[in-house]
Amino acid sequence: MDNIILEEVYKKELQLIKLINSFKKVLVAFSGGVDSTYLLAVAHQALGQNCKAVFARGPMISSQEEKEALALVKHYNFPLEVIDFDVLAIREFRENPPNRCYFCKKKLFESFLDFNQRSGNFTVIEGTNASDTSDYRPGRVALQELSIISPLLEVGLTKAEIRILSQHRNLPTWNKPSMACLASRVPYGDSITAELLARIAQAEAILHQKGYPECRVRVHGEIARIEIPQGDFFKFIQECSDITIPLLTLGFRFVTLDLSGLCSGSLNPIQQEVSS
């Protein structure tokens, strides 16, 4: 990579460190993904014991993602609190309107703020980055309403740059596939239940075990629509029965492969609807 580009990336990291130091004490909303792991690593290096993290356990994430996130903080000795978050208690989450993420994010960070008041009144920060502004993210509105700070976004760090800086720090998440709430696999308007989320997690676990770390299983009624990178299509076709049969046992009637490949946010409203 061009040395000038790398220099600009490292300048952003220095700006990030300066910004975090200005907060004195921070509580990092941690999910175990690329962005929040990098943010937590930088904040912990900058502030030491004045940096804490909070992780929300709930049906919106798979048990494997939870296990990996908790193993990571244990490995690095990051101070972490785990709270149980009953996302299915939120009516709007269950009903799944297009702005579902707004209601979920609002309630989630209200829970973090309540925890924060009891644990020392730190500045609550989270891992939205500059690349996220190009996608449909109604949850950003909730963060703004609650005055939650997004340091990566404030200094202009993109997802690609965060991966570069994470690799420089030897963080195991530097090349981790992007994560998303399991509810993002359900078309807007279709009801979300604990059983459905668990079935999605099981289906994606099967794909992971078969060697597809980047995947989504979108659920359209009785149909499981699999999204994987197009470069994995040949491998998938060669062993499709090894994947289809286990998914059928989960209760799907049809298992399909989306020929468009893996597409983050493929169930989001089209851009015309977003801007209207």
Please work out, in degrees rounded to the nearest 5, the angle formed at the alpha carbon of residue 59 by the alpha carbons of 257 and 121: 130
> 22: Cβ–Cβ under 8 A, 6 or more apart, which residues?
none
269 phi/psi in degrees, rounded to 5: -60, 150
Q: What is the rounded average pLDDT of the residues 263-274?
A: 60
Query: Residue 172 and residue 43: Cα distance in Å, rounded?
Result: 17
Architecture of domain 182-257: 2-Layer Sandwich (3.30)
What confidence tens digit (pLDDT) does each residue in 175-191 have?
Answer: 999 889 999 999 999 99
Q: By C-alpha distance, which of 256, 253, 175, 178 is closest to 215?
A: 178
Q: Mean pLDDT across the stretch 32-58?
A: 97
Q: What is the pLDDT of residues 80-117, one digit of tens each?
A: 999 999 999 999 999 999 999 999 999 999 999 999 99
pLDDT higher at 188 or 265 = 188
Alpha helices in the chain (DSSP H): 3-23, 34-47, 63-76, 91-95, 100-119, 139-145, 151-154, 159-168, 194-209, 233-238, 240-249, 271-275
CATH class belonging to 3-168: alpha beta
| Structural domain boundaries in the chain | 3-168, 182-257
What is the average per-residue pLDDT within 192-198? 98
Report how far residue 150's alpha carbon sits from residue 262's, in angstroms, rounded to the nearest whole number. Answer: 27
The answer to whether residue 239 scores a pLDDT higher than 60 is yes
CA distance 175 to 160: 10
**Cβ(60)–Cβ(182) below 8 Å:** yes
- The residue-averaged pLDDT of 161-184 equals 95
Q: What angle do CA 56, 200, 219 make, to 5 degrees?
A: 125
Q: How confident is the model at residue 272 (pLDDT cuts 50, 70, 90)?
A: very low
For position 65, what pLDDT does the model report?
95
